[in-house]
Structure 1
Amino acid sequence: MRMLVLAALVVATAACDRVSMPNLSFEDPANKAKAAAPAGDDFAFAEMDIASLQARMARGELTSRALTQAYLDRIAAIDDAGPKLNAVLELNPLALQEAETRDAERRAGRVRGPLHGIPVLLKDNIDATPMANSAGTLALANHQPKADAFLVGRLRAAGAVVLGKTNLSEWANFRSSRSTSGWSSRGGLTRNPYVLDRNACGSSSGTGVAIAASLAAVGVGTETDGSIICPSAVNGLVGVKPTVGLVSRSGIIPISRTQDTAGPMARSVADAAALLSVLVGRDERDPVTADSSGRAVFDYEARLRPDALRGARLGVVRQAMGYHAATDAAMERAIAAMRRAGAEVVDVIVPTWGQWDAAESLVLLHEFKAGVEHYLASSGAPVSTLAHVIDYNQRHSQATMPHFGQELLEQARATNSLGDPVYLSARSDARRLARTEGLEATLAAHGLDALIAPATSPAWRTDLAQGDRFLGAGYSLAAVAGTPSVTVPMGDVKGLPVGVIFMGPAWSEPRLLGLAYSFEQATRARKAPRFVASIGADPAPLPAAIPAPVELPSAATPSDDRPR
């Protein structure tokens, strides 16, 4: 969730507890399908969107079981073998069974909605039975929640197939000020599929990489400050960070009750909108969702218009620029495209830009301790307090802390309760500076529909000595304000994707998604990953072509259904 803009050490080794990948392939060399995809890639469903998959299933040309099997084969060939992206942490052993159930429902004339039979990946801080939920830490590697998170229940009720869990920055990047985005002690290091020596950003790194590489149709990430937006931007995706309160957080390992939210990560705005429509909903276990009553939309896709930029008034936050020349150039091209599409674009200054940083840090330290200890105790986790987590890491330091420590956990343990006046003052200051006097004041002063900025610079080279190198991140304003933001691809820098972020007032997701969709349709900037080893290199060798899925009788079972 939390995107810490601080130096970190990168881990290049996989975690010791990762068990072998199940052999879920059903070979049929005579029936190989080809589709537009990365160089050397023969995957039949690469880059395919939800609407296309649904159309094929409606015509009887594809089943959910075949599609699920194809993604499982893809994960085995691309994620674990091939370029070894290390994005998927654990598979749902019941995924094929869930898909068969959806197929049976379709044959009976019951289609639950746009996600019916569509495989979805979840970040590994979201409860989803029968898989573990670990936040990437070995201390929770065997934690088996007894029930689904509220949003997972929403997905299953909508007919989605839960394919598995994705790797993430350990503790959602809230363990050390020197942590590396995309690394966890349970899952190792996730690599960027565009250029393999580049960082995948975090903390929703595994979800970002998996969806960019077509390991599933769509995925769910979580964010406290940048952890949907940044990995979406550097992996060429659309990422939606909703208004806090639009999507339930119950059943998600938390950092901050003030800033946490889950949200969609997808290859298109339409897919992100379809997924968001399912995720929203009021949950009695998360009281903040009561604020969404009368404000949530249950069909965001219906709000998408290709001409939404016409007549829109947008403000460019130049304070998020000037850090990376090529990113600035891409942003100028994006601005020009918006103007050609009919938008009025003006420069703005956010008067409180960055002034919320110190207050935000205090808020997160206090809220992390309270939130994570409540989650651990209520979910029956093998460790029940933050002190237990810290002690576990100390006792297993060779496996858990080979490259960086846990000073943020230790600082959080030292905080007082949420009744502490220091915390209460910091929470008020952070929200005032980011939301009232920052985003909302700037929108009102210039009569704007949204603010725009580069989401972040291109992915940096993963470097053991130097750690993470974030430049010009534009996402913190909306994160601390608790308001929505949407990033969409705006181009690339030497093959590395860059995104533009749209930010608006609370509950403005329909408007922001419409603007993002209009920009996406005008520019078509997304490109599939090429899996190159480094800038200027040829594409990395991919595995042999993946066979097209073969329908088997419903009694057939894979040879090994263990989670990995």
Structure 2
Amino acid sequence: MKNVSFFLFAIFVFIACKKQDKTETQLEKEPRVVWQPYDEAADLAATEMLEQTRMHLKLINSKVLDKNDIWKTLEPELDFFSEEKYNDLKKFILEKNIPTIQQQIKDGKLTYEELTLFYIYRIRKYESDNALSLNSVISLNPKVVEQARDLDKMDKKNIDINSIFGMPILLKDNIGTKDMVTTAGAVALQNNKSKSAFITERLLDKNALILGKANLSEWAYFLCSGCPVGYSAIGGQTLNPYGRMVFETGGSSSGSGVAVAANFCVAAIGTETSGSILSPSSQNSVVGLKPTIGVLSRTGIVPISSTLDTPGPMTKSVIDNAILLNAVIGKDDNDVISKAIDINFMDSIKEGSLKEKRFGVIKELLEDSIYKIAVEKIKKAGGEIIEIEPERVQLPGFLSILNIDMKNDLPVYISTQSGSDITVKNIKDAIVFNQQDSIKRIPYGQQLFEGILADSTTTEELNVIKENLKTIARNYFDTHIDKHQLDVILSINNYHAGYAAVAKYPALTVPMGYTGKGEPKGLTFIAKPFSEALLLQLGYAYEQATKERKEPANYMD
């Protein structure tokens, strides 16, 4: 027995030494990457020369978060993931859609663990480089590699290639995730250990991998007035991969759009109140869907407006958008507007065709050459083009919807969803908290927060505003949709997001092309409520006919 014990002990020591040797050797080959702060003065000065006034930046990197902390807990996993391995996997992952990646995993060319490590490695690779960093990610899930390994142990034979199973997804950091903090980019919520949002639970139920949290315009861009889109105190200034410190990222789902565009994840989820999915999707050449209010639950998401808020998928392709939408639909009894949707959006896009569909084309927008070319391509594919001239109308009282809803909705979120460490209870508390260190917490001010307190609109007055705006906006679209029996109206980027928001109409933006300077633009399809299947069908048909999306040039390695 003594000899046996000695033998087993010797085997254990041998294995331990071999593991230690391997680790040391690996570390010698792949030294840990460390992000180094740098003097931002020259970069900040350069933004003063830009035409886009909101790009005049005061800072680039967060003064609150050390970037090294983003991937710190996952460094031991990356010690065994080499640059050579990363390069070997690129052909299986970069710019590939979900069905293609799933099929390669089923074929044994790739594992869920390798897929996950690839994205973590890639995020660290670019975000640690001060010449290429995009500030698109606020945090990574420390358990995600372990969770990916667990999925690799399962039989992959019956996994649907059109499913979200094992796909690493980034969530905008106003969407609750139980094992991670949910900050909305704000120092006041830096330690917010919230409950998981309903849509997060839907993803987990389908074995998706929550890779981490994406940066955003702080408080979903309802904090400061005229400040840069894509900035948050926690995440710093999100930058556009197609023109770093040249083009805006769009907001407020800035990090979600940038991360998808730069291939930092398979897909992401953003949120929109008015343009916050459509804008960053268009600006970063990705597909973004703003669903009808009620298609997706808002429970567990830091709110602006219970009237207008909705999450939505942001992806590199329409197929992936449909797959992600399938994964998160479901009636939520805790969200009074939530609907039961019984549609397989992946199946519906296969019926997509531009032929004989009727498109309302806004005559004024035909002055944009990229939009005009897109319209001509639709016409060539058999679509019927009807030029329309919507009457320009104002949306009086729009801001009051946001003001009064956030004044009421934020305290409800904090009392029911946030962690116990959160000391602010309402907007007034948040204003006072920010004033205690304004340089670090609100470098661009908090004019919109202050406007919330100043708005004295009553509940009765607000209800009148909501109904009035819904009528105005629906008439804006329906006058032409009904008269000409249109399937959709075509817009650019988030140009008509405000109208779609108060009308509660869904909208889908698909990459449409690039300006002479290389700035992306999106073709935006707008239709009547609960027309998501139609939008995805037409978006897919347009995407297949044009294939406009291009990988950002400096992020192809």
Q: TM-score, normalised by structure 1?
A: 0.83
Aligned partners of 1:442 and 1:190: how far apart in 2?
A: 38
Look up the SS of the partner of 1:68 in the other structure. helix
1:123 to 172, 177, 182: 172
Shift of 1:270: 0.4
State yes or no: 1:266 paired with 2:315. yes
User: Do 1:238 and 1:267's aligned partners in 2 also have CA atoms closer than 8 Å?
Assistant: yes
Name the structure 2 match of 1:252. Answer: 301
**Whose relative contact order is higher, 1 or 2, with alpha carbons under 8 Å and at least 6 apart?**
1
Question: Structure 2 vs 1, CA of residues 108 and 250 (structure 1 numbering), >3 Å: closer, same or farther?
Answer: same
Aligned partners of 2:53 and 2:479: how far apart in 1?
A: 29
Name the structure 2 match of 1:461. Answer: none
Which consecutive unaligned segments of at least 5 residues does structure 2 have?
Answer: 1-51
1:474 to 485, 496, 499: 496
Name the structure 1 match of 2:231. Answer: 183
Name the structure 1 match of 2:290. Answer: 241
Code of the aligned partner of 2:462: Y
Name the structure 2 match of 1:468. Answer: none
Aligned partners of 1:110 and 1:516: how far apart in 2?
A: 26
Aligned partners of 1:368 and 1:10: how far apart in 2?
A: 27
User: Do 2:404 and 2:452's aligned partners in 1 also have CA atoms closer than 8 Å?
Assistant: yes
Question: Structure 2 vs 1, CA of residues 29 and 263 (structure 1 numbering), >3 Å: closer, same or farther?
Answer: closer
Look up the SS of the partner of 1:287 in the other structure. coil
Aligned partners of 1:232 and 1:506: how far apart in 2?
A: 21
Aligned partners of 1:512 and 1:60: how far apart in 2?
A: 35
Name the structure 2 match of 1:333. Answer: 373
Name the structure 1 match of 2:248. Answer: 199
Stretches of 4+ moved more than 6 A in 1?
110-113
2:111 to 42, 63, 68: 63
Instruction: Map Cα deviations across residues 31-70 of structure 1 (whole Å, 9 max, x no partner).
Output: 45358xxxxxx67521111011100111122111110011
Question: Structure 2 vs 1, CA of residues 32 and 420 (structure 1 numbering), >3 Å: closer, same or farther?
Answer: closer
Look up the SS of the partner of 2:522 in the other structure. strand
Aligned partners of 1:485 and 1:226: how far apart in 2?
A: 10
Look up the SS of the partner of 1:487 in the other structure. strand
Name the structure 1 match of 2:552. Answer: 529
Tell me whether 301-310 or 328-337 shows the greater mean CA deviation. 301-310
Aligned partners of 2:530 and 2:537: how far apart in 1?
A: 13
State yes or no: 1:390 paired with 2:428. no
Code of the aligned partner of 2:229: S
Name the structure 2 match of 1:316. Answer: 361
Name the structure 2 match of 1:33. Answer: 87
Look up the SS of the partner of 2:224 in the other structure. coil
User: Do 1:43 and 1:74's aligned partners in 2 also have CA atoms closer than 8 Å?
Assistant: no
Shift of 1:474: 2.9
Instruction: Map Cα deviations across residues 434-469 of structure 1 (whole Å, 9 max, x no partner).
Output: 12x22233211211000001115xxxxxxxxxxxxx
Shift of 1:8: 7.5
Could you say which structure has the larger radius of gyration?
2
Instruction: Map Cα deviations across residues 318-344 of structure 1 (whole Å, 9 max, x no partner).
Output: 35x37xx6xx10001000000011110
Name the structure 2 match of 1:164. Answer: 212
State yes or no: 1:304 paired with 2:349. yes
Which consecutive unaligned segments of at least 5 residues does structure 1 have?
Answer: 36-41, 457-472, 532-539, 546-564
Instruction: Map Cα deviations across residues 384-419 of structure 1 (whole Å, 9 max, x no partner).
Output: 1111100011111110122x21121112123458x5
State yes or no: 1:361 paired with 2:419. no
Aligned partners of 1:124 and 1:307: how far apart in 2?
A: 33
Code of the aligned partner of 1:301: M
Aligned partners of 1:144 and 1:129: how far apart in 2?
A: 7
Instruction: Map Cα deviations across residues 201-251 of structure 1 (whole Å, 9 max, x no partner).
Output: 110000000000000000000000101001000100000000000000000
Aligned partners of 2:227 and 2:316: how far apart in 1?
A: 28
Aligned partners of 1:34 and 1:311: how far apart in 2?
A: 45
Tell me whether 301-310 or 72-81 shows the greater mean CA deviation. 301-310
1:94 to 143, 149, 170: 143
Shift of 1:9: 5.1
Code of the aligned partner of 2:167: I
Look up the SS of the partner of 2:528 in the other structure. coil
1:50 to 98, 109, 131: 98
Code of the aligned partner of 1:425: V
Aligned partners of 1:6 and 1:409: how far apart in 2?
A: 22
Code of the aligned partner of 2:510: V
CA RMSD of aligned residues (A): 2.2
Name the structure 2 match of 1:442. Answer: 480
Instruction: Map Cα deviations across residues 523-548 of structure 1 (whole Å, 9 max, x no partner).
Output: 010000113xxxxxxxx8x8xx6xxx
**Correspondence 1:381-420 to 2 at 5 A:** 381-402=422-443, 404-416=444-456, 420=459
Instruction: Map Cα deviations across residues 354-406 of structure 1 (whole Å, 9 max, x no partner).
Output: 422x321111111111111211222243311111100011111110122x211
State yes or no: 1:485 paired with 2:487. no
User: Do 1:169 and 1:184's aligned partners in 2 also have CA atoms closer than 8 Å?
Assistant: yes
Shift of 1:104: 2.2
Question: Structure 2 vs 1, CA of residues 407 and 219 (structure 1 numbering), >3 Å: closer, same or farther?
Answer: same
Aligned partners of 2:84 and 2:500: how far apart in 1?
A: 51
Shift of 1:489: 0.7
Instruction: Map Cα deviations across residues 116-174 of structure 1 (whole Å, 9 max, x no partner).
Output: 100000000000121111111111111111x2100000011111100000100011010
Question: Structure 2 vs 1, CA of residues 11 and 446 (structure 1 numbering), >3 Å: closer, same or farther?
Answer: farther
Question: Structure 2 vs 1, CA of residues 524 and 306 (structure 1 numbering), >3 Å: closer, same or farther?
Answer: farther
